């Protein structure tokens, strides 16, 4: 059976109160009741379709959450004010003081800092492992382990996580598998491959406009309800809620995500082949020389390609800076962190989005000083974009 996340979103029917094709923005923090009894039932989570207070649920947030759940094939979802809001809430909800986490060594820098530094406050231990080594993952599991954490396609090294393999380890040891799918929306559906919780930064491809930060947690109904429980729910009590105006705008953007992912993938594959053919060390999961190429193929939903992210290695940060500055001048795109935008964005990972990772750990994970990460944009003429990049590579002496 082939899963089609784009059709799942397309099939949603969300009308506004006047038949508006885009549901009305629910611009209210609180909600009134005609009967006091219904309010009490809502507090107890028993009144279907009733809203209480917007830190718990807001109808506009519910529409976006429903779209995320449809896309991921999960029973439910909850949307947050940032990707970090989603990641930290999901993790904190699963651990108690004294517990242990097994995490991929390569993750988003903020996630790494949270796991490596911040969780110490709560006496939660984290073992960082090479996530592509399933034996190392299983050996790192302890009696106190509560979750295994990874990204479908890891940042910034673009390693591919074996979600079914990790899910088997998680199930065997009765721990949760939490997967960040930010780099690969629609391309991969981690929950259908066995992940228990899927987290997202919607800031990136899902919204795709670089006009806000937002996040989501997708899981079964029990987990989502427990997250927003008024007495013990991490999301309800820490309050990383998304603004309903933003939910409404992200909901419109998610309806074009499938078209954008196809173009991001087409353009990234084109550039990856060109870099590779020019003899520059290139990492792109769509290249047959990528270690995770076959694994990625086995996990992918059809049609959406291998994604918009690729890296090249120029060995030194000086060369990386020179290239990025020249590409900025040539309008290849922007020297900026973040990803999933309609313009190409590039940055030197070790000195930017992974600068939270200590240098010795960067070495250990194989992160080169000269790594340039591209989030390839929606260019209509990618051949022309390549000719500009080629010009920059010549100018800095990487190509003859
Ligand atoms: C950006 C990013 C995050 C953090 O999301 P924010 O929306 O910036 O809080 C988490 N994971 C990955 C893979 C990211 O790229």
Torsion, Cα 137 138 141 146, to 10 degrees, reads 80
The pLDDT value recorded for residue 394 is 97
The answer to whether the beta carbons of residues 200 and 215 sit under 8 Å apart is yes
- Single pTM value for the model: 0.96
Q: How far is the CA of 117 from the centre of ligand 1 (A)?
A: 17
In whole angstroms, give the CA distance from residue 237 to residue 234: 5
Q: For residue 86, how far is its CA from the centre of ligand 1 (angstroms)?
A: 9
pLDDT of 10: 96
Residue nearest to atom 11 of ligand 1 (CA): 108
Is CATH 3.20.20.120 the classification given to domain 5-254? no
**What's the pLDDT score for residue 23?**
93
pLDDT at 172: 98
As a whole number of Å, the CA-based R_g of the chain is: 21
Please tell me the distance between residue 335's alpha carbon and the centre of ligand 1 in angstroms.
Answer: 18
Residues of the chain with CATH 3.90.1150.10: 258-395
Residues flanking ligand 1, CB < 6 Å: 82-84, 87, 108, 110-111, 151, 155, 180, 182-183, 201, 203-204, 213, 215
The reported pLDDT for the residue numbered 383 is 98
- What tens-digit pLDDT sequence spans the chain (400 residues)? 589 999 999 999 988 888 999 999 999 999 999 999 988 888 877 777 889 999 999 999 999 999 999 999 999 999 999 999 999 999 999 999 999 999 999 999 999 999 999 999 999 999 999 999 999 999 999 999 999 999 999 988 899 999 999 999 999 999 999 999 999 999 999 999 999 999 999 999 999 999 999 999 999 999 999 999 999 999 999 999 999 999 999 999 999 999 999 999 999 999 999 999 999 999 999 999 999 999 999 999 999 999 999 999 999 999 999 999 999 999 999 999 999 999 999 999 877 777 777 888 887 777 889 999 999 999 999 999 999 999 999 999 999 8
Give the per-residue pLDDT at 287: 98
Q: Which residue, judged by its Cα, is nearest atom 4 of ligand 1? A: 83
Ligand 1 centroid to Cα of residue 34, in Å, is 41
Task: Report pLDDT for 362.
Answer: 81
* pLDDT number for residue 318: 95
Atom of ligand 1 nearest to the CA of 107: 13
Instruction: Judge whether 137 and 102 are in contact, CB under 8 Å.
Output: yes
- CATH 3.40.640.10 residue ranges of the chain are 5-254
Measure the CA–CA gap between 319 and 325, rounded to whole angstroms. Answer: 10
- Just give the CATH number of 258-395: 3.90.1150.10
Q: Which protein residue's CA is at the shortest distance from atom 1 of ligand 1?
A: 201
| Phi (first) and psi of residue 113, to 5 degrees | -65, -40
Measured distance CA(65)–CA(80) in Å, rounded? 10
- What is the structure's pLDDT at 1? 54
């Amino acid at each position: 059976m082939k899963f089609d996340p784009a059709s799942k979103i397309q099939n949603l029917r969300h009308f506004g109160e006047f038949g508006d094709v885009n549901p009305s923005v629910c611009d209210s923090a609180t909600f009134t009741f005609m009967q006091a009894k219904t309010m009490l039932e809502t507090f107890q989570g028993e009144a279907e379709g009733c809203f209480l207070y917007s830190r718990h649920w807001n109808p506009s947030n519910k529409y976006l959450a429903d779209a995320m759940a449809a896309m991921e094939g999960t029973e439910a979802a909850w949307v947050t004010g940032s990707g970090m809001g989603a990641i930290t809430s999901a993790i904190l909800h699963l651990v108690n003081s004294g517990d242990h986490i097994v995490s991929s060594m390569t993750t988003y820098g903020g996630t790494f800092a949270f796991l490596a530094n911040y969780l110490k406050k709560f006496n939660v231990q984290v073992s960082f492992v090479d996530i592509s080594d399933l034996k190392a993952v299983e050996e790192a599991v302890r009696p106190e382990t509560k979750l295994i954490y990874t990204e479908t396609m890891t940042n910034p090294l673009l390693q591919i996580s074996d979600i079914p393999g990790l899910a088997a380890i998680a199930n065997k040891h009765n721990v949760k598998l939490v997967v960040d799918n930010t780099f690969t929306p629609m391309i991969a559906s981690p929950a259908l491959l066995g992940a228990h919780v899927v987290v997202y930064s919607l800031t990136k491809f899902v919204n795709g406009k670089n006009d806000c930060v937002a996040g989501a947690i997708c899981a079964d109904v029990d987990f989502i309800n427990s997250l927003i429980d008024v007495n013990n729910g991490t999301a309800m009590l820490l309050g990383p809620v998304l603004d309903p105006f933003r939910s409404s705008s992200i909901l419109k953007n998610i309806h074009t995500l499938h078209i954008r992912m196809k173009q991001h993938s087409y353009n990234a594959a084109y550039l990856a082949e060109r870099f590779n053919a020019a003899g520059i060390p290139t990492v792109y999961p769509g290249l047959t020389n990528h270690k995770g190429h076959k694994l990625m193929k086995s996990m992918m939903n059809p049609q959406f390609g291998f994604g918009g992210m690729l890296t090249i290695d120029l060995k030194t940060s000086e060369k990386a800076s020179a290239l990025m500055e020249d590409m900025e001048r040539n309008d290849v795109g922007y020297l900026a962190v973040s990803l999933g935008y309609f313009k190409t964005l590039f940055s030197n990972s070790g000195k930017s989005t992974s600068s939270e990772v200590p240098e010795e750990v960067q070495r250990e994970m194989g992160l080169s000083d000269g790594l340039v990460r591209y989030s390839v944009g929606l260019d209509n003429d990618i051949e022309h974009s390549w000719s500009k990049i080629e010009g920059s590579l010549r100018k800095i002496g990487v190509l003859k």
